[in-house]
Amino acid sequence: MLRDLELAEKNLEIVITELRATLGKMELALGSINEAIVWTGEDTGIQWCNATFDRLVNKSHIAILGNPLPNLLPLAHQGKEVSQTKHPVLKVLTQEFATTEYEFIKSDKILILEISGSCLSLKNGDKAAVMTIRDITERKRMESALISANRTMANYLQEVDKVIAAAVAVENDTFVPEILDSVAARTDELGRLARVFTQMVQQLKARERELAQAKEQLEAVLNAVPGSISWIDDGGLYIGVNRYLAENFKLSQDAFIGQEVGFLQGSAQMAEFMHQFIASPQISASSVIDLEINNNKRYYLVAAQKYQQGSATVSVGIDITERKQAEEALRIAEENYRSIFENALEGIFQSTREGHYISVNPAMSRIYGYDSPQEMIVSVREIGTQMYVNPNCREQFARLMEETGKVKDLEYQIYRRDGSIIWVQENTRAVRDTSGKLLYYEGIVQDISERKRREDELKRQLAELKVEIDQKKREQEVALITKSGYFQELQSNISEVNLDEFWE
């Protein structure tokens, strides 16, 4: 019996040894394959893994066992981080997982992992997950390279078709150089062929294209010009006009061609100018001409220039009606202002901040005793020291102009040319430019000496009247006192007094 037990124990040791050897071989075999294999429990803790997984996560076998798989293998899917609750191992345990590609960062390098798995139900009722993880980074790179190569080949064939289509387009006179731009940009033989082909076609079409572009640009410019442009032959007939001129007369551009200059109503002056210029040896000329356009009189500055050795003329007309009207309005305004300036009874002036007169009117020079405005401007070098009797008044003027930009009804005394003193009243404002910079002072001065004299006379009369009124008031008060009963009684008593005895 004992011998049987010893024999059985020995056999068991042999089986265990063989089993360990077999497991070692299996683990060695599983560690040599490219796929990482991981066995986890329901808690996702790693119960076993092969050496390939050790290398994948770059950790020792002992450090891996027992750790949750999501902690050791954090993943991303299409660039977005996969949360631990959605990790593939959990989806395998819930049997909701299908083979999927994920990104895994190892040593700052992104690996593409193809992960598959299966859920096992153990005899004790527990579940286990067996995960197979395959590094397909190189395969994906090769697939991408193959796709790129296929795309390159397809692109090459497409560009060959472009070259063929370009050759057909040349035959049909529909060739556009831009269709070969992408082919010509290539650095291979096909690109060189496209560049040579394009250069050849461009040389053939260059002159035609340049002329067409020049014509189009010229027409665009001429139609955009806000003025009338016309071309006239040496016989005085219109060769063409721009859109602006045609629209002004409510006609089409073609309606002018072949018509004689002056065929339009109200354009006789224009016709006369053009005929005289065409017949003259002058190369260029200009004139201001008035035209009747839609029953409205308009003014044009017309410039004419001969070309093609004098066989044709181009004329440009700029509408200056508003400018003419503005000039006329300005002329009238200036005449009105000059009339007011010259004929005003009040003195009108312009002066600098420093105290120099810029202009004065005749009334101003008369008030100050000068024979002419020019004499006053030349003679008065410094207003503050030459004109003001009281220097404080000039200081008051300067302060008001600085603080408010104006003075109103300022009264002060000034010296006239002969040294006599008069009273004046001044109203002045500061004139500034659009940026606020002071340009000059502009004001009106009135001689108020007579008014001041009358005011002084009135004050004197009022003073005298007051004295007179005070005297009459005292007389009335004395009369009231003498008429009172008390005064009568006192007077009676005084008359009964013996003065000689009173003074003894």
Look at residue 292 and tell me whether its pLDDT is greater than 50. Answer: yes
User: Is the residue at 461 inside a domain?
Assistant: no
As a whole number, mean pLDDT of residues 48-63 equals 91
Q: How far from the centroid of its chain's Cα atoms is residue 483's Cα?
A: 97
Residues 234 and 318 in one domain: yes
In a domain, 21, yes or no: no
Non-local (6+) Cβ contacts of 306 within 8 A are 282, 283, 284, 312, 313
Q: Find all residues with CB under 8 Å of 395, minimum gap 6, and list them.
A: none
CA 97 from centre of chain: 58
The yes-or-no verdict on residue 2 having pLDDT over 70 is no
Tell whether 419 is covered by a domain. yes
pLDDT in tens, 419-465: 999 999 999 999 999 898 999 999 999 999 888 888 888 888 877 77
Which of the two residues, 206 and 79, has the higher pLDDT score? 79
The answer for residues whose C-beta is within 8 angstroms of residue 277's C-beta and 6 or more apart is: 285, 304, 313
Q: What percent of the chain has pLDDT over 70?
A: 87
Alpha-carbon distance values, 32 to 53, 69, 113, 131, 352 (Å): 11, 21, 18, 17, 103
pTM attached to this predicted model: 0.39
Radius of gyration of the chain, Cα coordinates, nearest whole angstrom: 58
Which residues have C-beta within 8 Å of that of residue 31, sequence separation ≥ 6? Answer: 50, 51, 52
Task: Please tell me whether residues 247 and 319 are part of one structural domain.
Answer: yes
Q: Using the 3D structure, point to which of 199, 218, 237 is the last residue of a domain.
A: 218
Q: Kindly state whether residue 12 falls inside one of the protein's structural domains.
A: no
- Whether 354 and 316 map to the same domain: the answer is no
Q: Has residue 412 got a pLDDT over 90?
A: yes
Q: Are residues 349 and 443 in the same domain?
A: yes
Secondary structure element (H or E) that encloses residue 206, with its range = helix 189-224
Q: Looking at this protein, which amino acid is placed at residue 25? A: K
Domain boundary residue among 135, 168, 192? 135
Report if residue 415 sits inside a domain: yes
Are residues 249 and 296 both part of a single domain?
yes
Output 121 or 497, whichever has higher pLDDT.
121
Q: Are residues 96 and 120 in the same domain?
A: yes
Number of domains in the chain: 4
Considering 170-184, 312-326, 436-450, the range whose residues carry the highest mean pLDDT is: 436-450
Residue that terminates a domain, selected from 186, 203, 218? 218
Checking DSSP bridges between strand 347-351 and strand 357-360, what pairing results, if any? antiparallel
Token pair 């060959």 is found at 160
Residue 52 in domain: yes
Q: Do 282 and 369 have their domain in common?
A: no
Q: Classify residue 6: in a domain, yes or no.
A: no
| 462 belongs to a structural domain | no
Question: Are 157 and 134 a contacting pair, CB within 8 Å?
Answer: no
Same domain assignment for residues 83 and 155: no
Residue owning tokens 């002060």: 412
Maximum mean pLDDT: which of 28-42, 266-280, 285-299, 382-396 = 382-396
CATH label of the domain that carries residue 68: 3.30.450.20
H or E segment to which residue 233 belongs: strand 228-233
For the stretch 6-55, pLDDT in tens is 666 666 566 455 545 544 545 555 556 789 999 999 999 999 999 999 99
**309, 233: one domain:** yes
Same domain for 40 and 123? yes
Is the same domain home to 183 and 112?
Answer: no
The pLDDT value recorded for residue 477 is: 67
Are 248 and 283 in the same domain?
yes
Domain range spanning residue 203? 145-218
Q: Name residues whose C-beta falls within 8 Å of residue 64's C-beta, 6 or more positions apart in sequence.
A: 46, 49, 53, 54, 57, 72
Asked if residue 491 has pLDDT above 90, the reply is no
More confident residue, 76 or 231: 76
Give the three-state DSSP class for 194.
Answer: helix
Other CB atoms closer than 10 Å to residue 154's CB: what's the count? Answer: 10
pLDDT-based confidence at residue 483 (cuts at 50, 70, 90)? low
Q: Is the pLDDT of residue 359 over 50?
A: yes
Residue 321 to residue 265: CA distance in whole angstroms: 19
